[in-house]
Structure 1
Amino acid sequence: MSVVTVTLNPALDQTVVLEALTPGAVHRARSVRRDAGGKGVNVAACLADWGLSVAATGVLGRDNAAPFQALMDAKGIEDRFAWIPGETRTNLKLLDGASGDTTDINLPGLDLTPDALVTVRAALRALTAPEGLVVLAGSLPGGLGPRTYADLTAELRARGARVILDASGPPLAAALAAPVLPFAIKPNRHELEEWAGRTLPGLADVAAAAQDLRARGIALVVVSLGAEGALFCDGDGTLHALAPPTAIASTVGAGDALVAGLVAGLHADLALPDTARLALAFAAGKLARAGANLPPRAAVEAIAATVRVERLTG
């Protein structure tokens, strides 16, 4: 399998579009949509749109798994999820139509059973190969300790896989403190500030903290910066990539689309500047669409050609 994504705490994303979000007020929704989501699911969806062969594993609640099954069937994603009793959580996303900002309300997920994680590990053993790309993404459900990603990373790297980690909080901290590190990580600015223990107000500050992380043994550190684009740090230095202004239909899953573009670039063995362009093009292309969906490949390639990449260091 070319790429495998792991989503241990998926969610049904219910996006409510409002004229404007006013705390404490009564709102009338302009529209509502429901998408099968979770970080790894979103990454898999974008990669499938791009045309890559991708398998998705993790844990789904059997009682409301139908939207996930429909998504995987429609996009040709190989379903290697462990299905357990209960319902996958729902996340509420309130989209302010005036500002374009999204307010997230993430509800608790399923408590994971030991057997379910055994099933996920078995799927990963069957799907991964040397130099294969495995994305570990999102929060952890109840029943799993913060070392879960660190342990999975060690198992996967022992089999020669390249692990891309997109997590936050204690699971990220544990993975970064482990003796075996991911191949690549994708924190946002706030997550990098949490790790660094200080604010990072300027690009130079972000780049210095990212290079500190890279120097610990992570081959590639990508820091997403929202409207400021993203930084890409490897052994040759740091690049800043910035996409042109984009009409925004929904910001939901934009960071996941960036991860998908990063993975697509790694899969194609592109040079880092071209990988950065592709990652930003995935994110910009997704912004123009609701849900974890990319525009046609030619449109993404056209956006990539307009992404500005500047070398900050190296």
Structure 2
Amino acid sequence: ARGPEIQPHELMQLIDQIESLHNPQFITIGGSLPRGLTVEIYKKIISVAKKCQARSVLDVDGEALRVGIEAQPDIIKPNIHELSELVGRELKEMDEIVAAARDINARGVEMVLVSMGGRGIVLVTADESYLAVPPEVKVENTIGAGDSAVAGFVFGLAGNKSLGEALAYAAAAGTATTLSQGTALCRREDFQAILPRVKLSTL
């Protein structure tokens, strides 16, 4: 379900609330587009984040992603299918994925996170690229795994971890969420147990 229809005054309230944040480090933007809004809202929020000197994280797909990256968010997190759609070609091999992500870097997006399910998650910047592969687990549910990966990555960056370490956090948080049933959040103990088992490599 797409939820309630957003009225113009409610949109203004949202923008006002974002602008009133005190020294935010990150502003993450995700989820489906509510009724009453157009994809231009993503560009607006990214521009507000820049005014707040916060790093913006965009986790959307399709037209919303295509339009959103025009505002040059700092970080995006498509899955491999969404990245393939964005660049207009099917991506399978790792070098193809990195090259496609670098195309996005060249358009002003500093970091591209690409989730690939059991194959792990890739981070690509203009100068660096990493792959984090989580251990195999018994998957109970995949709802919210991508959101948790974003949260893990941002948590790592906010804690001054290196890019590679933050990517390992992303892989561990996303995988930990698959152990929880329904829409439950990942448990700290699962995250902490999985983190040292994540295999991190440079590409």
Q: What range describes the TM-score normalised by the shorter chain of this pair?
A: over 0.9
1-structure distance, mates of 2:47, 2:115:
25
The one-letter code of the counterpart of 2:30 is A
| Structure with more relative contact order (C-alpha pairs < 8 Å, separation 6 or more) | 1
Which position in structure 2 is the counterpart of 1:156?
Answer: 49
The one-letter code of the counterpart of 1:293 is L
Structure richer in helix, relative to its length: 2
Instruction: Report the CA distance shift for 1:226/1:237 in structure 2 as closer, same or farther (over 3 A).
Output: same
Which position in structure 2 is the counterpart of 1:65?
Answer: none
Question: Taking structure 1 as the reference length, what is the TM-score of the superposition?
Answer: 0.62
Q: 2:157 aligns with which of 241, 266, 275?
A: 266
The one-letter code of the counterpart of 2:9 is D
For 1:140, what is the secondary structure of its paired residue?
Answer: coil
List alignment gaps of at least 5 residues for structure 1.
1-106
- Residue 295 of structure 1 pairs with residue 167 of structure 2: no
Structure richer in strand, relative to its length: 1
Residues 278 and 301 of structure 1 are in contact (CA less than 8 Å); yes or no, is this contact kept in structure 2?
Answer: no
2-structure distance, mates of 1:138, 1:162:
18
Runs of 4+ residues over 4 Å off in structure 1 = none
Aligned residues: 202
Deviations 1:278-307 (A, max 9, x none): 11110111111122412235x423311110
2-structure distance, mates of 1:194, 1:202:
15
2-structure distance, mates of 1:109, 1:295:
27
Residues 123 and 130 of structure 2 are in contact (CA less than 8 Å); yes or no, is this contact kept in structure 1?
Answer: yes
The one-letter code of the counterpart of 2:107 is R
In the TM superposition, 1:52-63 aligns within 5 A as: none
Residues 255 and 283 of structure 1 are in contact (CA less than 8 Å); yes or no, is this contact kept in structure 2?
Answer: yes
The Cα of 1:255 is off from its aligned counterpart by 0.7
Max Rg structure: 1
Q: 1:119 aligns with which of 13, 16, 27?
A: 13
* Identity over aligned pairs, percent: 32
Residues 2 and 32 of structure 2 are in contact (CA less than 8 Å); yes or no, is this contact kept in structure 1?
Answer: no
1-structure distance, mates of 2:22, 2:127:
28
The Cα of 1:108 is off from its aligned counterpart by 3.9
1-structure distance, mates of 2:38, 2:140:
36
The Cα of 1:309 is off from its aligned counterpart by 1.1
For 2:99, what is the secondary structure of its paired residue?
Answer: helix
The Cα of 1:128 is off from its aligned counterpart by 4.5
CA RMSD of aligned residues (A): 1.4
The Cα of 1:143 is off from its aligned counterpart by 1.4
2-structure distance, mates of 1:225, 1:292:
21
Which position in structure 1 is the counterpart of 2:4?
Answer: 110
Residues 27 and 54 of structure 2 are in contact (CA less than 8 Å); yes or no, is this contact kept in structure 1?
Answer: yes
List alignment gaps of at least 5 residues for structure 2.
none
2-structure distance, mates of 1:292, 1:134:
22
For 1:305, what is the secondary structure of its paired residue?
Answer: helix
Which position in structure 2 is the counterpart of 1:173?
Answer: 66
The Cα of 1:203 is off from its aligned counterpart by 1.5
The Cα of 1:311 is off from its aligned counterpart by 1.1
Which position in structure 1 is the counterpart of 2:35?
Answer: 142
Deviations 1:122-148 (A, max 9, x none): 211222426x11111112112111111
Residues 112 and 144 of structure 1 are in contact (CA less than 8 Å); yes or no, is this contact kept in structure 2?
Answer: yes
The Cα of 1:183 is off from its aligned counterpart by 0.9
- Residue 232 of structure 1 pairs with residue 126 of structure 2: no
The one-letter code of the counterpart of 2:21 is L
The one-letter code of the counterpart of 1:122 is D
